[in-house]
């Protein structure tokens, strides 16, 4: 039997002999014998999904099936969290995996974290790449979508007068990034509006293309717009821009693991996402895809040695960082894949339609999000005529302990609603009733 004392002794012996600690541990099986690094188990939570051959839309309606998923999370049912687009809770299996890695890291971090655990990140890189549909040497593991996007936004050489193009519905932090380059380097940031909702992909492409000039050097676009849940035609915009020789950075913060797609559906050169949203990975985890031949020409956010110029890992040069967060991504991927991307998307769309179609029956309520297939998924933006978004948010929280997000954009003022797979229909009924009450009170007043 391998005890912890024997385990640490074996590591010390391997180090003294100059052999690879990771290699010897991997072949001996000692890693799994510690009690901390056992392979993460789904523990039967998703057993009902195995062999379920029903169409995803049919499975999405099976409340008994989804009750098992609901019970996999440790959320406080005393409140209704409908802001999973900001950051999502992780299921218990992910929390437990992270705790095991964290506990082991703290035994002797310069050894256990740096020399034993850090090399295992390569396995996570392979899993993420496989799920996204790219080569592992094109997948960087980061802390969030903002870091991944800023690597791209700040990594291109630009000169005064060079133009970068994006919409006026992009994420504020990413607009701030370009605005700093405007102040510091004299580049030009061009923004333009999109229809709300946008149900004509050709019109979206046309609006991007008509803004292009001979000074346009870079385009930033959302895959899914955070304020409305609008899905944009990434592949079509990328193909159009490629004809002009203009790189496109794709902000996939809300898209990855939310609805089913792979890189082959996008064909972009740069894609960034957070993993603590819809993949349910630990807080502070993200990913960055860069097409292999584009890696050498993109500067990292933090300096890396010249030897890494053509290595995807140059984008991970951030100094000391926690391995536990990154390695627990594996448990999140297993949970996500256990549900199935298509079933997960179908369930999120069903939850959105459940509350949205009920509220559309009320006078004075309207959506800023399309319910047509393919233009949105689990996120939607709803407004009550005559009510400020902040009023709705405050009323829902104060009187019902329901969490939503205020959206103040002039083209889509309302509240963003983003339930998740752990959300119950009873919780959505509470939200529907609360919104109906506010809408009727406003109409009566």
pLDDT of residue 30: 35
DSSP bridge partners of 405: 416
pLDDT of residue 444: 76
pLDDT of residue 8: 38
Cβ atoms of 202 and 227 within 8 Å: the answer is no
The structure tokens listed for 1 are 């039997």
Domains of the chain: 120-334 (3.40.640.10), 341-444 (3.90.1150.10)
**Omega before 332 within 30 of 0, i.e. cis:** no
pLDDT of residue 32: 40
Cβ atoms of 139 and 289 within 8 Å: the answer is yes
> Helical H runs in 169-322?
172-185, 201-209, 234-243
Residues present in the chain in total = 445
DSSP annotation of 39 reads P
Cβ atoms of 166 and 225 within 8 Å: the answer is no
- Strands 286-290, 139-142: pairing is antiparallel
DSSP annotation of 360 reads T
pLDDT of residue 182: 98
pLDDT of residue 38: 47
| Residue 191 CB coordination number (10 Å) | 15
Determine the 3-state secondary structure of 101 from DSSP: helix
DSSP annotation of 295 reads G
Report the alpha-carbon distance of residue 320 to residue 107 in Å, rounded.
Answer: 16
Express each pLDDT in 37-90 by its tens digit.
Answer: 444 455 567 787 888 899 999 999 999 999 999 999 999 999 999 999 999 999
Cβ atoms of 145 and 252 within 8 Å: the answer is yes
The structure tokens listed for 375 are 């233009």
User: Can you give the pLDDT of all 445 residues of the chain as single tens digits?
Assistant: 433 343 334 333 333 333 333 333 333 333 443 444 444 455 567 787 888 899 999 999 999 999 999 999 999 999 999 999 999 999 999 999 999 999 999 999 999 999 999 999 999 999 999 999 999 999 999 999 999 999 999 999 999 999 999 999 999 999 999 999 999 999 999 999 999 999 999 999 999 999 999 999 999 999 999 999 999 999 999 999 999 999 999 999 999 999 999 999 999 999 999 999 999 999 999 999 999 999 999 999 999 999 999 999 999 999 999 899 999 999 999 999 999 999 999 999 999 999 999 999 999 999 999 999 999 999 999 999 999 999 999 999 999 999 999 999 999 999 999 999 999 999 999 999 999 999 999 877 6
pLDDT of residue 309: 97
Helix (H) / strand (E) element for 80: namely strand 80-81
Report the alpha-carbon distance of residue 379 to residue 254 in Å, rounded.
Answer: 9
Angle between helices 172-185 and 145-155 in degrees, nearest 10: 30
Helix (H) / strand (E) element for 365: namely strand 365-367
Report the alpha-carbon distance of residue 285 to residue 324 in Å, rounded.
Answer: 10
The structure tokens listed for 255 are 């898209």
Cβ atoms of 118 and 125 within 8 Å: the answer is no
DSSP bridge partners of 381: 416
Report the alpha-carbon distance of residue 179 to residue 386 in Å, rounded.
Answer: 33
Question: What are residue 441's phi and psi, to 5 degrees?
Answer: -65, -40
- Strands 248-251, 270-274: pairing is parallel
| Residue 374 CB coordination number (10 Å) | 11
């Amino acid at each position: 039997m391998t005890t912890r004392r024997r385990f640490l002794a074996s590591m010390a012996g391997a180090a003294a002999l100059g052999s690879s600690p990771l290699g010897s541990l991997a072949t001996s099986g000692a890693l799994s014998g510690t009690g901390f690094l056992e392979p993460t188990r789904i523990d039967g939570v998703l057993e009902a999904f195995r062999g379920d051959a029903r169409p995803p839309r049919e499975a999405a309606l099976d409340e008994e099936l989804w009750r098992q998923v609901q019970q996999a999370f440790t959320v406080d049912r005393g409140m209704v969290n409908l802001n999973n687009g900001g950051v999502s809770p992780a299921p218990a299996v992910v929390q437990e995996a992270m705790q095991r890695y964290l506990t082991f890291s703290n035994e002797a971090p310069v050894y256990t974290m740096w020399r034993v655990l850090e090399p295992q990140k390569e396995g996570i890189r392979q899993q993420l790449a496989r799920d996204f549909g790219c080569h592992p040497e094109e997948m960087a593991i980061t802390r969030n979508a903002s870091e991944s996007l800023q690597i791209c936004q700040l990594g291109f050489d630009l000169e005064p007068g060079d133009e970068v193009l994006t919409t006026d519905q992009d994420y504020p932090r990413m607009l701030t990034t370009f605005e700093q380059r405007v102040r510091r380097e004299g580049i030009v940031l061009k923004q333009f509006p999109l229809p709300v909702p946008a149900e004509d992909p050709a019109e979206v492409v046309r609006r991007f293309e008509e803004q292009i000039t001979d000074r346009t050097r870079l385009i930033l676009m959302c895959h899914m717009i955070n304020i409305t849940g609008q899905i944009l035609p990434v592949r079509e915009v990328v193909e159009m821009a490629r004809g002009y020789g203009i790189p496109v950075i794709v902000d996939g913060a809300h898209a990855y693991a939310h609805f089913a797609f792979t890189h082959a559906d996008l064909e972009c050169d740069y894609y960034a996402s957070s993993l603590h949203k819809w993949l349910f990975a630990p807080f502070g985890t993200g990913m960055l895809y860069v097409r292999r031949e584009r890696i050498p020409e993109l500067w990292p956010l933090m300096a890396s040695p010249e030897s890494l110029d053509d290595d995807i890992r140059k984008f991970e040069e951030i100094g000391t960082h926690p391995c536990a967060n990154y390695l627990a991504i594996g448990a999140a991927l297993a949970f996500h894949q256990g549900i199935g991307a298509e079933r997960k998307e179908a369930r999120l769309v069903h939850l959105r339609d459940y509350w949205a179609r009920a509220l559309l029956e009320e006078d004075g309520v309207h959506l800023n999000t399309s319910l047509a297939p393919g233009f949105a998924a689990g996120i939607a933006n709803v407004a009550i005529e005559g009510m400020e978004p902040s009023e709705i948010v405050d009323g829902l929280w104060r009187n019902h302990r329901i969490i939503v997000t205020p959206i103040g954009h002039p083209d889509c003022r309302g509240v963003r609603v983003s339930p998740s797979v752990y959300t119950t229909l009873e919780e959505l009924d509470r939200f529907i009733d609360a919104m109906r009450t506010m809408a009727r009170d406003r109409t009566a007043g």
